[in-house]
Amino acid sequence: MKEHDVVIIGGGPAGLAAAISARKAGVEDIIILERSHQLGGILNQCIHNGFGLHTFKEELTGPEYAQRFIDQVEEAKIPYLLDTMVLDVQSHKVSYINKNEGMVTIGAKAIVLAMGCRERPRGALNIPGYRPAGIYCAGTAQRLMNIEGYKVGSNVVILGSGDIGLIMARRLTLEGAKVQVVAELMPFSGGLKRNIVQCLDDYDIPLKLSHTVIGIEGKERVTGVTLAQVDDQRKPIPGTEEHYECDTLLLSVGLLPENELSRNAKVRISPVTNGPVVDDTMQTSEDGIFACGNVLHVHDLVDYVSEEASLSGKNAALYVLQGRLEKCEIPLMATDGVRYTVPQTIDVKTMAPLVTVRFRVGNVFKNRSVSVYYDDKRIMCIKKKVLAPGEMEQVILQKKSFEAYPELKQITIKIEEA
């Protein structure tokens, strides 16, 4: 059985950054396994701009951002396999399939999970009605339009105001379709303000907050949808139904980290993020298995994916070079408005001088502070004018800040009044 030092599952932005970082940290034998026919992952179909502001201080389109990393992988001569689907991951073993080799199992000293995420489909929402053609997840429509150049429909209603839905509202409009309305279940939008302005306001596309689709008509192809307002339990309010004639319903109703392989590898999954639980080195509950990118938790900015993945790759390399570290992990508790943190634990003895803790809040907050407690002592209090679920936040913890807390049991991050 062939063995590699670092096996990276996924050749999108996370996998690419992890590979480059692992090489920089001194590991030679790395391989990237990518299921598509090209590297770049989802960025290949994200032809809009807004990527790279933090990483390159430039505003790039998705493909351009991806190319920067692909160039580095090619330059470093890091091997990769395309059209290769990983079917199973176990401790130190990866099995994949492709048309040249058939089914292969390889050994891996360290594994980096970088499989990204998938979209929540109509079926998971149980939207009643018929099941005609013309119902698309926004990403599927994006792929058909941007990679293949096809037209998915002319008269569109969009459910979900996350960034993908907003971006597609603009894309469809520029390609000549009529986007009538974007409906959003929550009382706030899940997307960036910039996208609301440049994708909806620019084109006079109305955004209906606290609304959802309660019915789909059309036996063969969509002929219409019914929207309704929802109450604070998110249940449709009778009497608020509005019918829209349309031939396409686009769904942008949630991204789910793709952790089927991780689950099979017995990696512990957080029920909040739907991604692996990791420590400050991005290692999962399984020895030698690391995670980064959307498979770990859904990101808004690819720049943070690259940062996180670089850390993952570097630590996967260190694991190979230095072996397993003795761990003494302090749990991070997310509470009072904070939905989750990544990482979920920190080893205060072995951590790097600085650790970035990323988190999301569960609601829109104005004029609050992000507070960090070591046990019951508040050590950090950062004033924030606004916090929103659609904008990932971070705090940076310093190793030396833990020196005064040798008996530390728990780190808590919460939202408090300003």
Partner 1 sequence: MSKKELTCIGCPLGCSLTVDFDDERHEVISVTGNSCPTGDKYARKETTNPTRIVTSSIPVIGGTMAMVSVKTRTDVPKSQIFAIMKEIHQTKIKAPVHIGDVLVHDCAHTKVDIVATRNVDAAR
Partner 2 sequence: MDYDVMIIGGGVTGCSIARSLSQYELSICLLEKDEDVCSGTSKANSGIVHAGYDPIPHTLKAKLNVMGSEMMPQLSHDLDFDYKQNGSMILCFDKENLPKLNELYDRGIANGVKRMQLLSGDEARALEPNLTDAVQGALYCPTSGIVCPFGLTIAFAENAYANGVQFKFNSQVKTIDKIDGGYKIGLAGGESYTTRYVVNAAGVYADVIHNMVSDKKLEIVPKRGNYLLLDKEVGDYVKHTIFQLPGKMGKGVLVTPTAHGNLMVGPTSKVVDDKDDTSTYSTDLEEISTMASMSVKNLPLRKVITSFSGLRAHEIGDDFAIGQASGAPGFFDAAGIESPGLSCSPAIGEYVAEMIAKVGNVRKKEHFITTRKGILRTKDMTSEERTSLIKEKPEYGTIVCRCEQISEGEIIDAITRPLGARSLDGIKRRTRAGMGRCQAGFCTPRTMELLCEKTGMTMEQICKNKKGSELLEENK
Identity of the amino acid at 396: I
379: Cβ contacts below 8 Å, ≥ 6 apart:
372, 373, 401
- Determine if 303 is a binding residue for partner 1 (CB under 8 A): no
Q: Whole-angstrom Cα distance, residue 262 to residue 289?
A: 9
- Determine if 237 is a binding residue for partner 2 (CB under 8 A): no
The string of DSSP codes covering 49-90 is EEE-TTTTSS-EEHHHHHHHHHHHHHHTT--EESS-EEEEEE
Work out how close the CB of 397 gets to partner 2 at its nearest, in angstroms, rounded to a whole number.
Answer: 33
Among 126, 174, 322, 403, binds partner 2 (CB under 8 A): 126
- Determine if 90 is a binding residue for partner 1 (CB under 8 A): no
Identity of the amino acid at 153: G
Query: Which of partner 2, partner 1, none is residue 77 near (CB under 5 to 8 Å by kind)?
Result: none
DSSP state of 196: I
Among 98, 240, 350, 369, binds partner 2 (CB under 8 A): 98
Is residue 124 within a helix (H) or strand (E), and if so which, with residue range? helix 122-125
- Determine if 38 is a binding residue for partner 2 (CB under 8 A): no
Work out how close the CB of 384 gets to partner 1 at its nearest, in angstroms, rounded to a whole number.
Answer: 9
- Determine if 382 is a binding residue for partner 1 (CB under 8 A): no
Show the tokens assigned to 173. 């409009």
DSSP state of 2: -
94 vs 177, beta carbon nearer partner 1: 177
Build a one-symbol-per-residue string for 250-269: x at contacts with partner 1 by CB under 8 A, - elsewhere.
--------------------
Among 14, 17, 23, 119, binds partner 2 (CB under 8 A): 119
- Determine if 356 is a binding residue for partner 1 (CB under 8 A): no
Do 117 and 13 contact (CB within 8 A), yes or no? no
Show the tokens assigned to 411. 């780190």
* Cis peptide bond upstream of 187, omega within 30: no
- Determine if 64 is a binding residue for partner 1 (CB under 8 A): yes
Q: Where are the alpha helices (DSSP H) in 175-231?
A: 193-195
Q: Restricting to residues 127-166, name those near partner 1 by CB under 8 A.
A: 145-149
Q: Restricting to residues 130-159, name those near partner 2 by CB under 8 A.
A: 130-134, 137, 139-140, 143-144, 147-154
Strands 93-98, 85-90: pairing is antiparallel
Q: Residue 329 burial by CB count (10 A; 0-12/13-18/19+): exposed, middle or buried?
A: middle
75: Cβ contacts below 8 Å, ≥ 6 apart:
none
- Determine if 123 is a binding residue for partner 2 (CB under 8 A): yes
- The residue count for binding partner 1 (CB under 8 A) is 31
- Determine if 121 is a binding residue for partner 2 (CB under 8 A): yes
- Determine if 403 is a binding residue for partner 1 (CB under 8 A): no
Among 100, 385, 400, 406, binds partner 1 (CB under 8 A): 385
Work out how close the CB of 87 gets to partner 2 at its nearest, in angstroms, rounded to a whole number.
Answer: 7
25 vs 261, beta carbon nearer partner 2: 261
Q: Whole-angstrom Cα distance, residue 78 to residue 27?
A: 11
Query: Which of partner 1, partner 2, none is residue 4 near (CB under 5 to 8 Å by kind)?
Result: none
Is residue 305 within a helix (H) or strand (E), and if so which, with residue range? helix 302-322
User: Cβ–Cβ contacts within 10 Å for residue 115, how many?
Assistant: 27
- Determine if 254 is a binding residue for partner 2 (CB under 8 A): no
Summarize as ranges the residues that interact with partner 1 (CB under 8 A). 44, 47-49, 59-64, 67, 145-149, 174-175, 192-194, 196-198, 201-202, 385-388, 391
